[in-house]
């Protein structure tokens, strides 16, 4: 089975409307759309979100290494000013990734990068994976250091 690094878009603001403790943990998370998106998965690293419809499909499929948590979903002020309020918006859920990257259907590499199996990728595509970048999983990949980034080197 092949694995993939999924890099979803970030059409959201989870910081402005959420209740955040002094230690930067969320007491109450709010996913606020900043712009319209047709995608089924989103990120604000290290947090990943899926539409509620996709969340239900993930649970029904029995995929390993993930659970989901409801998240209050709304529109940001920026969205309303730029696009006006639509009749409805897709509700989202937070993915709680507990699996091992490259072994389970869902896993995190370096606690940040979402790694998924072929069956997950197929499910995402079926539910509208539109703008996310899909990269082959490299178990040896490491995140470049700031010095390497400044020097133009990659991990």
pLDDT digits (tens, 9 = 90+) for 77-130: 999 999 988 999 999 999 999 999 999 999 999 999 999 999 999 999 999 999
Closest C-alpha among 49, 63, 46, 53 to residue 143: 46
Query: Alpha helix (H) ranges present in the chain?
Result: 52-61, 77-83, 118-126, 146-150
Q: What is the mean pLDDT of the chain?
A: 94
Mean pLDDT over 69-74 rounds to 96
Asked if the model's pLDDT at residue 154 lies above 60, the reply is no
Asked if the model's pLDDT at residue 153 lies above 70, the reply is no
Residues contacting residue 145 through CB under 8 Å, at least 6 positions apart: none
């Amino acid at each position: 089975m092949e694995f993939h690094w999924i890099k979803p878009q970030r059409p959201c603001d989870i910081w402005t409307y959420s209740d955040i403790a002094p230690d930067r943990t969320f007491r109450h998370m709010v996913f606020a759309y900043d712009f319209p998106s047709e995608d089924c998965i989103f990120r604000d690293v290290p947090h990943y979100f899926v539409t509620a419809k996709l969340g239900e499909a993930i649970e029904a499929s029995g995929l390993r290494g993930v659970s989901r948590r409801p998240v209050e979903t709304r529109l940001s002020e920026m969205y309303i000013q730029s696009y006006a309020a639509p009749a409805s918006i897709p509700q989202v859920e937070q993915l709680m990734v507990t699996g091992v990257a490259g072994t389970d259907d869902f896993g995190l590499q370096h606690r940040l990068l979402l790694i998924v199996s072929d069956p997950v990728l197929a499910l995402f595509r079926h539910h509208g994976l539109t703008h996310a970048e899909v990269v082959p999983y490299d178990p040896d990949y490491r995140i470049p250091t700031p010095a390497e980034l400044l020097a133009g080197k990659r991990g």
